[in-house]
Structure 1
């Protein structure tokens, strides 16, 4: 997607291409990060580029633990946190730690494209379960029906990529109660891996419930790619629920896997930068304004979609039965989108609106022409 967008910009002119394919924020990091970076440059800490514990700097892990503790009844300590190379690195560390060959991981459609590959990396098998087709909310009964003697984990993602929905506390509570019952029935631990890179990007004053308050055997994996606009820096963390069965063993295993998977440790400079930024975020209102502008325009043209509660994606229904064919037709109008089948949901397409507002404005006439061609208006 990245390469195709670059090719078309070179071919047709950057100002004429409306690339909504990649969740690569156009916004800059908050000013507080610039101040921290300048301070480190002007007052370097001796040894700041050397190795540290594979789990990361203790002070960084403690800052993360204090931030998580504010949103849950659990008391998180530095020893429950491991700094990772982004959420992708963290997910691979967790899966390497918990999976035996052939064990199953449930993922919920529509899902982030790379989950399948991450699970396969570590000898697991992905089992897909559909969310509610009207709301994209969790279908706890369907998840329960998919759990078997070989199930090891479930990955959830809230706010969701690609739908933007947030899973409410009552749904997480129902999921946790069901999993407790299934663990007793099967005699094995079932992990919930909560992938949360968009957790601070919630609209209309909503907050994303902390999974630790509702599910005992849960692990948070996240990054600062979105909330601090640092996708290229690959800085994130994983955190284990302190009530989790065998939590100390899990943490020891994850520290080892962080090393042997080749990550070794999260980037030293980035760890130091984010230590004092755990309560910081990019401007959420700016994302909400982009959402509202494009949502109003697209729904006014007849596109059907669930209004995102967080993150920065739309996942509309394709007005053509073949979502790949629709994406190809959109490209004729210089609009680049991602077909839904890559997310396990054919018949939809994804729009990433983490772009400059000026580009959104310029794209509106092209969306109108596209809507006319497919018979929406």
Structure 2
């Protein structure tokens, strides 16, 4: 028998992955060109050429025993961490050094490592709906309790009044994700400043340390000149989790990092705990070849003009058809209001037109659906007549 905890997790397994698998099934029946799969945030823009050249050069020039071996520290290669710290300092005016950086198995690995290092059973982690559903699973992994702040469906900035009310003596961490999955919203500097002030106030009130965990896999995917605030500037107890999955289109390579600033409470102990957690969770160290690759490609970025064109085409196309949605400022998702209260039923109806979208209840925001527009431009264009038929069905 599997564990009771896993029984529950299996029963509530990812709707996103299930929809993606359904898309593969339909593609075999109708042809992939006739299936419009907006389910999975899997980048369709290839990695920059520099990634390929870096891999070839590393394989040709590096000692393979060293390149494919364990790193001396669970935190990762020293030279890689120095390079990342220097890059962050140049970009954001910070003052990190190698010890502040721990290489991780993607952003998800990083979140599990930091939550393992922070949470005692019963500790609370706050997330702002809509949020990436795995936050609940990651918190539950360590017997923590996820506390939701309900969604602000006007502009999807966090509800800070409700947030303040839900902070308790048991609150150990807050997870923020900006640019946001699933809405594409970037939390404004004003929002971050107010959030930081609330956290400072509550830390003093309760005499506790509350950590702000900034989950940033979409940091580089921002449009129209939007600035994404770097949160360590606003609140000392900030920890940043980053991934190259989207910025370099390397989701399958599972490479990212955590930043633990010196200003964070008990930073030395926390850095030590993170390194141990990396080992005892079974990661041991982040993939070694990919650590070296990202060091060589720190100044490279995926060409987001492809996503931007998709964003404009899908957003304008759906708005013109009568669908209600806000224009995303970042990431590669569109969060659309369902024309009926039961968005799961709407997803089922969309599937009849070979349109695959994810219900908002998967992100703690029922009544909406998420569409991942990291697909081919042809998929966007060819889907619009089907969306028109769907809109007509609901008299939009």
TM bucket (normalised to shorter chain) is over 0.9
Selected match of 1:171 from 181, 191, 195: 191
Selected match of 1:49 from 45, 48, 68: 68
1:63·1:276 contact (CA, 8 Å) conserved in 2? Answer: no
Give the secondary structure class of the aligned counterpart of 2:336.
coil
Q: Does 1:217 align with 2:205?
A: no
Q: Does 1:16 align with 2:34?
A: yes
Selected match of 1:120 from 116, 140, 144: 140
Selected match of 2:287 from 267, 272, 279: 267
Q: Alpha-carbon deviation of 1:248? A: 0.9
Q: Alpha-carbon deviation of 1:371? A: 0.7
Give the secondary structure class of the aligned counterpart of 1:156.
strand
Q: Does 1:36 align with 2:54?
A: yes
Provide the rounded CA distance (Å) in 2 between the counterparts of 1:181 and 1:74: 24
* Alignment-derived partner of residue 109 in structure 1: 129
1:129·1:142 contact (CA, 8 Å) conserved in 2? Answer: yes
Q: Alpha-carbon deviation of 1:138? A: 1.6
Provide the rounded CA distance (Å) in 2 between the counterparts of 1:171 and 1:37: 40
Q: Alpha-carbon deviation of 1:367? A: 0.8
Per-residue CA distance 1:114-133 (angstroms, 9 max, x = gap): 00000000110000002422
* Alignment-derived partner of residue 8 in structure 2: none
Q: Alpha-carbon deviation of 1:279? A: 2.2
- The gaps in structure 2 that reach 5 residues or longer are 1-18
Provide the rounded CA distance (Å) in 1 between the counterparts of 2:394 and 2:47: 39
Provide the rounded CA distance (Å) in 1 between the counterparts of 2:166 and 2:364: 17
Per-residue CA distance 1:321-364 (angstroms, 9 max, x = gap): 11000000000000000000110011000000000111111111
* Alignment-derived partner of residue 44 in structure 2: 26
Work out the number of aligned pairs and report it.
Answer: 376
Q: Alpha-carbon deviation of 1:43? A: 1.8
Selected match of 2:365 from 337, 345, 348: 345
Give the secondary structure class of the aligned counterpart of 2:174.
strand
Q: Alpha-carbon deviation of 1:276? A: 2.0
* Alignment-derived partner of residue 344 in structure 2: 324
2:85·2:101 contact (CA, 8 Å) conserved in 1? Answer: yes
1:30·1:281 contact (CA, 8 Å) conserved in 2? Answer: yes
Q: Does 1:297 align with 2:317?
A: yes
* Alignment-derived partner of residue 160 in structure 1: 180
- 5 Å-filtered alignment, 1:199-218, equals 199-218=219-238
TM-score if structure 2 supplies the norm length?
0.93
* Alignment-derived partner of residue 278 in structure 1: 298
* Alignment-derived partner of residue 367 in structure 1: 387
CA RMSD in angstroms comes to: 1.0
Per-residue CA distance 1:215-259 (angstroms, 9 max, x = gap): 110100111110100001100111112211111111000000010
Q: Does 1:58 align with 2:78?
A: yes
- The gaps in structure 1 that reach 5 residues or longer are none
Q: Alpha-carbon deviation of 1:38? A: 1.6
Q: Alpha-carbon deviation of 1:59? A: 1.1
1:74·1:242 contact (CA, 8 Å) conserved in 2? Answer: no
Comparing 276-285 with 245-254, greater Cα deviation is found at 276-285
Comparing 138-147 with 289-298, greater Cα deviation is found at 138-147
2:101·2:260 contact (CA, 8 Å) conserved in 1? Answer: yes
Give the secondary structure class of the aligned counterpart of 1:155.
strand
Provide the rounded CA distance (Å) in 1 between the counterparts of 2:331 and 2:145: 28
Comparing 183-192 with 126-135, greater Cα deviation is found at 126-135
Q: Alpha-carbon deviation of 1:45? A: 3.0
Provide the rounded CA distance (Å) in 1 between the counterparts of 2:278 and 2:394: 48
Per-residue CA distance 1:292-328 (angstroms, 9 max, x = gap): 0111100001111111000000001001111000000
Q: Alpha-carbon deviation of 1:5? A: 1.3
Provide the rounded CA distance (Å) in 2 between the counterparts of 1:13 and 1:72: 46
Provide the rounded CA distance (Å) in 1 between the counterparts of 2:87 and 2:164: 32
Q: Does 1:2 align with 2:25?
A: no
Give the secondary structure class of the aligned counterpart of 1:201.
coil
TM-score if structure 1 supplies the norm length?
0.98
Provide the rounded CA distance (Å) in 1 between the counterparts of 2:151 and 2:345: 24
Comparing 195-204 with 1-10, greater Cα deviation is found at 1-10
* Alignment-derived partner of residue 232 in structure 1: 252
1:75·1:242 contact (CA, 8 Å) conserved in 2? Answer: no
Q: Does 1:310 align with 2:333?
A: no
